Amino acid sequence: MASRATSPRNPHPVTLQERLKAELTSAMRSQDELRRDTLRMAMAAAQNAEKAARRPLSDDELVGILAREVKTRRESVEAFRNGGRVEMAAREEAEIAVLSELLPAALGEDELRTMISAAIDEVGASSARDLGRVMSVLSPRTRGRADGKMVSGLVAKELARRDLAAHAHGDGHKHGHGHTYGDGPDADPPKAA
């Protein structure tokens, strides 16, 4: 009897966990060892996280785990290449390809920049000091769809660009808690009494 995840009435699994199980079953039936082993490692990581959380994982949490597995393998690829172990690097890259199929589609640069701009506006960020606040809003939205370091770098660049643009428009220097002193960039803070 067909499982719920692959029945004719429901050709696509409902949750990422169900899809992962269905993909593993398919890999076992087709005797695809690399795919089977990769999916088993991913399922083991998910089960360990479920045990630690003492509850089933949400799809977003599972995406985070899969993204972490991909990141670990990318780091391994680099280490294997630096060590001259090309065959091991190729295996890791093949595992990345298997796991990437389960992750949401990667964000395009334009879509990512739009999300970054919206998150900056949402938290009212105005300088690089607000990077953490922006990332706390943006990270859950981009998890598994964009590299965190790249997102952080783009956020930092956009915050710097906006901060410079604000100063170029004669907003004055902001000191401390957003207080503006003087009328222009050369204005000095008030003298202590």
Taking residue 43's Cβ as centre, other Cβ atoms within 10 Å add up to: 17
| Distance between CA atoms of residues 183 and 162, nearest Å | 19
Note whether 5 and 13 are within 8 A (CB). yes
Note whether 91 and 76 are within 8 A (CB). no
Which fold does the domain 11-100 belong to in CATH? Hypothetical Protein Yqey; Chain: A; domain1 (1.10.1510)
Looking at the structure, give the CATH architecture of the domain made up of residues 109-173: Orthogonal Bundle (1.10)
pLDDT tens-digit series, residues 73-118: 999 999 999 999 999 999 999 999 999 888 888 888 889 999 999 9
The pLDDT confidence band at residue 140, using thresholds 50, 70 and 90, is confident
Report whether pLDDT(186) > 90: no
pLDDT tens-digit series, residues 113-128: 999 999 999 999 888 8
Note whether 58 and 46 are within 8 A (CB). no
Mean pLDDT, rounded, of the chain:
82
The pLDDT confidence band at residue 148, using thresholds 50, 70 and 90, is confident
pLDDT computed for residue 5 by the predictor? 43
Domain boundaries, given as residue ranges, for the chain: 11-100, 109-173
Taking residue 90's Cβ as centre, other Cβ atoms within 10 Å add up to: 13
| Distance between CA atoms of residues 116 and 159, nearest Å | 10
Same topology for domains 11-100 and 109-173, yes or no? no
Model-level pTM?
0.62
> What tokens were used for 193?
């009494």
pLDDT computed for residue 192 by the predictor? 57
